[in-house]
Amino acid sequence: MQTLNQQLLDNIIAIAKEAGEHLIQFYTRSVAVKIKPDDTPVTEADLFISQLLTERLTQLTPDIPVLSEESCNIALSERNQWQEYWIIDPLDGTQQFINRTDQFSIVIGLVQKRGEKNQPVLGVIYAPIVEKLYFAMEASGAFLQENGKTRPLVSTPYCEEKPLVITVGSQIQADKALQTVGGREVQFLQYGSSSLKAGLVAEGKADCYIRFGDTGEWDTAVAEVLLKEVGGAVFDFDFSPLTYNLRETFINPYFVMVKNSSLNWDKIFLFK
């Protein structure tokens, strides 16, 4: 099992930044776009960055398999044997990249087997255009690097008097969220890729991020580490934790990411 330490985290940050340089180059020109069988877009940038990250991670840790959104056709019978694995989203927010919103990121996480479960334990989210780098490691805190400075992200108490700030990906998502919030005053913060919305929650710019619609395990794994380190959590609409590498499918249930896990979120969101 890979030992978690600062050197490993520094290496992953360096790999993410190298990939970010390439992504910036792709962003300066038009890229080829294809539609995948699930009707989501994929660009040549996704595929290039996926291959680059896989090569770099394999060089760094030859014995740890790499699971990428762009190369995930691996049977559960094989994945069941994994004690740990890298999980990557080479371009989280492909549609944001195509739409030129700047709000997309490179995501690298490490998941380790803990008993019957698989637990994300280290992760990096790097948004090269907006120059934000989130990183976290189990029991070592969560951090944001921005404007040349690195600061720790900390847990913050929730103020009942203020409106609940919910970050979402679209107006449609906001409308759906509004129907689940029982009479509470809310504000919506619309933003790009899933991992960057998780970052806004970890920073405290939003109280939570709610998602109606399909995502993959690579969209949430690093967010799990980031939020856990600031007292937050990720759960599905039954208020149960998400799982990793336990099912044939990588598709997550609909979920909520929260900054403060001690709140009675089942009293705030009435999903049933």
Task: Give Dmax over CA atoms of the chain in angstroms.
Answer: 53
User: Which residues, 6 or more positions from 145, have their beta carbon under 8 angstroms from its beta carbon?
Assistant: 132, 133, 134, 135
Bridge partners of 256, per DSSP, are 210, 235
Both tokens assigned to 242: 């998400």
Q: Do 53 and 19 form a contact (C-beta atoms < 8 A)?
A: yes
Alpha-carbon distance 107 to 226, whole Å?
12
Annotated binding site for substrate: 69, 91-94, 219
- Token pair belonging to 253: 């249930």
CA distance 125 to 30: 24
H-helix or E-strand spanning residue 211:
strand 208-211
What is the C-alpha to C-alpha distance for residues 25 and 27, in angstroms, rounded to an integer? Answer: 5
List, as residue ranges, the binding site.
69, 89, 91-94, 219
Query: Residues marked as binding for Mg(2+)?
Result: 69, 89, 91-92, 219
Q: Quick one: which of 49, 20, 10 has its CA closest to 130?
A: 20
